[in-house]
A and B are shown apart, each in its own frame.
Chain A
Amino acid sequence: QDKVAVVGAGVIGLSTAVCIAESIPSCAVTVLAEHFTPDTTSDVAAGILLPHPFPETPLHKQRCWFKDTFDHLLSICNSTDAAEAGVFLLSGWQVFQETPSTKDPYWSTVVLGFHMMTDAELQRFPKYKFGQSFTTIKCECSKYLLWLEKRLKNAGGQLHTEKITGFEQLTSSYDIIVNCSGLGSRDLADDQSLYPVRGQILRVHAPWLKHFIRDGNGHTYIFPGIHSVTLGGTRQKHNWEMSVDEADSSGIFERCCELEPSLKKSQVCSKLVGLRPTRNSLRLEREFFVHGNRQVPIIHNYGHGGGGISIHWGTALEATQLVKESINWRNPTSKL
């Protein structure tokens, strides 16, 4: 049996662990993390499937990861697991004050029913001159991560609360390490190109809202969830502040009320902060870690920025493929 350690229990760590445990029966998977749901970055995210651009990752890869994730979640949406997994369809509008250069982004054929908003549809957004209407998926991590944990245990995986400060802690007990530590990789993988983009959100009670509305500039968005509506947001680069900022809160609330006036009647339930683990390109590759006389493959899967949930299953599949290759490398005779 190959012992695999997955570091990180956010959406990336858990989905990668599940993927490995379910598709490589010879692996014994253990997830090690300092934080588990509801204390991960993924728990703060609204979880709307809408890709986040990686300036230095080839577009075809981004599209592939997004499509794999969308298709995977769509089948959950239409199954009896949907409620427990926290996955459901959501329609809505992305509106622009200035017509964007790309009217037809690469993901328009992945989401459902993508089309340009009609004039009648745009009338409800007087400050906006262009819009896209489509149906996507919301994946609520407060439920989804618990469901993934259950799936992992069913596949024989384990979960341990343990903060990993160096890969050398793992080399004696594990054959393969999968690094899904998000922002933690700054220290753990000594990666200074990784930086936080601070996001603050409000969760309000507004059960009459059935559509998402997002300003194309990414700074204002309304994402209805199962029990609350997420209002956002902020995109503060290199800001590590985890406590709630009241000026940000009022700014978010005001901007969202302008987009959707009925929100003025909503009650704020909570205010949260998450730090998007941002990088110019996603790091999804294998490196070899040498410790003493051991050479252990580490598969890195981090730097998803604001698009973790949007591409999680796609990157989990690719990371799993790298794990398979590492096993073959370790045991070349098994090929014969």
Chain B
Amino acid sequence: MGAWLSLLSFSYKVGPWWDCEMSFGSLSPLRYMRVAVIGAGVIGLSSALCIHDRYHSKVTPLSIDVYADRFTPLTTSDGAAGLWQPYLYDNGNTQETKWNKETFDYLLSLINSPDSIKMGIFTQSGYNLFTEPMPEPSWKDIVLGFRHLTPQEMKMFPDYRCGWFNTALMIEGKSYLPWLMDRLNERGVKFHQKKIVSFRELADRRVDVILNCTGVRAGELQPDPLLKPGRGQILKVDAPWLKHFIITHNPKTGVYSTPYIIPGSRSVTVGGIFQVGNWSEDNNSEDHRKVWEEGCCLVPSLKNARIMDDWTGLRPVRSSVRLDNETLQFGDKQCEVIHNYGHGGYGLTIHWGCALEAANLFGKILEKKRLTTHSRL
């Protein structure tokens, strides 16, 4: 982490000699493209990587700059426990289920690769618990070994009536984000610690395509009444004997509003707070007490565990993920914006499918520019 902070104090350049300011007219538009990514959480970094890998040979040079006010380990993605699990039902949004599946399959394909631990990827099994019978989730065929809990298993959770067991994946932001930054750095992507206050700011710098991956604060760049913070507060606990995730559900109070515990590679995350509309990033003692007491009720052995830390994060909640593009005009300058935000409490879960789709949208932009070029000749 320290190495990255020192590099960000000035624009860090590694790349081909032609990667510098050039007058727009000396090369045909498709031979030079300037891309700016706003946001360095899992969405921004993975979208940048996907686009670079797919198009760097088709667009030469493809210059990518990442701008963000926060980098790992200070992003929302860093604080998340990292369990791959979407909300229970997609309510017809089959596209999001597809993106979730693409992410799971992608991460699973890397599980036996040499980089898996550096990336923060590993398998973990666990329990989803309910007080009343629920329809099976949209992701039951995506995860491994999905099944209903037996009566014998339910005896371990006397406050719950039924539940599921499955093997899922963990993708820990604190490892994954630095890994993504290393990959991007190798590819000549540059990072800038800078808060972008308007799309115009980037259009003025002759950016051709903006990837808007600004998460919960996307509304500051373009108002979006559908986007709200879903405040979460978690405890990080030292309880290495716990090897399963346990997520409880209450359909009346909403997702992640009842206790959950998710063991990680370094600590166990205990949570159960989901406050829509609350922008406070401060830890709250009442929330701490609720999370701790309910966690200990769910898992009695936690009572003797040492609490290491509290953390608060704002989930970028939206009725559905915004993943589309629009053309913005600023005077004589035109700029394409690909929006990729609003992933709620399932950003890590869906990130790769969204990155692939963002790359698809980028491809469509290239097609459009090629047609525009032809029409000019």
Chain A positions near chain B (C-beta within 8 angstroms) = 74, 77-84, 86, 88-91, 112-113, 115, 117-118, 120-121, 124, 133, 135, 207-211, 224, 226-227, 261-262, 264-265
Q: Is chain A's binding surface mostly helix, strand, loop or mixed?
A: mixed
Give the chain A neighbours of B9 by CB distance below 8 A.
none
Contact between A80 and B117, CB atoms less than 8 A apart: no
Known: A79-B301, A124-B112. A113 touches B165 (CB 8 A): yes
Interface majority SS on B: helix, strand, loop or mixed? mixed
Say whether B266 contacts A207, CB under 8 Å.
yes
- Subset of 15 A-B contacts with CB under 8 Å: A77-B301, A82-B300, A83-B304, A86-B241, A112-B153, A121-B144, A135-B125, A209-B122, A210-B125, A210-B243, A210-B244, A211-B123, A211-B124, A224-B243, A262-B112
Contact assessment for A83 and B305 in the assembled complex, using a CB-CB cutoff below 8 Å: yes
**Chain B, 87-131, contact with A by CB distance < 8 Å: what is the 0/1 string?**
000000000000000000000000111101100001111000000
Known: A77-B301, A83-B241, A84-B304. A211 touches B125 (CB 8 A): yes
The 3 A-B residue pairs with the shortest CB-CB distance, nearest first, are A82-B301, A88-B241, A208-B122
Chain B neighbourhood of A113, CB < 8 A: 147, 149-150, 153, 165
Query: Quick check: A88 and B167 within 8 Å, CB to CB?
Result: no
CA distance A113 to B125 in the complex (A): 12
Given contacts A133-B145, A208-B122, A210-B125, A80 and B243 within 8 Å (CB-CB): no
Q: A120-B144, A210-B244, A262-B116 are in contact. Are A80 and B300 (CB under 8 A)?
A: yes
Residue with the highest number of chain B CB atoms closer than 10 Å, among A81, A83, A86, A210: A210
Within 8 Å of chain A (Cβ to Cβ): is B177?
no
Partner pick for B300 among A79, A112, A210, CB 8 A cutoff: A79
CA distance A120 to B124 in the complex (A): 15
The answer to whether A207 and B145 touch (CB under 8 A), given A84-B304, A227-B240, is no
Interchain CA distance A91-B144 in the complex, whole Å: 13
Asked if A88 and B242 make an inter-chain contact with CB atoms under 8 angstroms apart, the answer reads: yes
Which residues from chain B contact A227 at a C-beta distance below 8 Å? 240
A264-B117 Cα distance, complex, nearest whole Å = 10
Task: Tell me which residues across on chain B come within 8 A of A124, comparing CB atoms.
Answer: 111-112
State the Cβ distance, A1 to closest chain B Cβ, in Å.
35
How many Å from the CB of B142 to the closest CB on chain A?
A: 10
Give the residues in chain A near B301, CB-CB below 8 Å. 77-83, 88
Contact among B111, B112, B114, B244 for A91, CB-based, below 8 A: B244
B residues neighboring A (CB under 8 Å): 111-114, 116-117, 122-125, 144-145, 147, 149-150, 152-153, 156, 165, 167, 170, 239-244, 263, 265-266, 300-301, 303-305
Residues of A within 8 A of B117 (CB): 208, 262, 265
Residues of chain B within 8 A (CB-CB) of A261 are 112-114, 116
Q: Give the residue of A80, A90, A121 whose beta carbon is less than 8 angstroms from that of B167.
A: A121
B300 touches A78 (CB 8 A): yes
Q: Which residues of chain A are within 8 angstroms of B122 by Cβ–Cβ distance? A: 208-210, 262
Task: Closest B residue to A264 by CB, please name it.
Answer: B114
User: Complex Cα distance A240/B139, Å?
Assistant: 52
Nearest CB on B from A118, distance (A): 6
- Taking a contact as CB atoms under 8 Å apart, the answer to whether A115 and B147 are in contact is yes
Q: What are the residues of chain A within 8 A of B124 when measuring CB–CB?
A: 210-211
Report the minimal beta-carbon distance from B156 to chain A, rounded to whole angstroms. Answer: 5
A125 to B, closest residue via Cβ: B112
A118 to B263, CA, bound (A): 25
B111 A89 Cβ-Cβ under 8 A: no
Residue of A nearest to B120 (CB): A208
Q: Tell me the minimal C-beta distance from A181 to chain B in angstroms.
A: 30
Q: How far is the CB of B293 from chain A (nearest CB, A)?
A: 14
Residues of chain B within 8 A of A226, CB atoms compared: 240-241
Chain B residues within 8 Å of A209, by CB: 122
- Which residue of A112, A117, A211 is within 8 Å of B150 (Cβ)? A112
What residues of A have a CB within 8 angstroms of the CB of B266 in the complex? 207
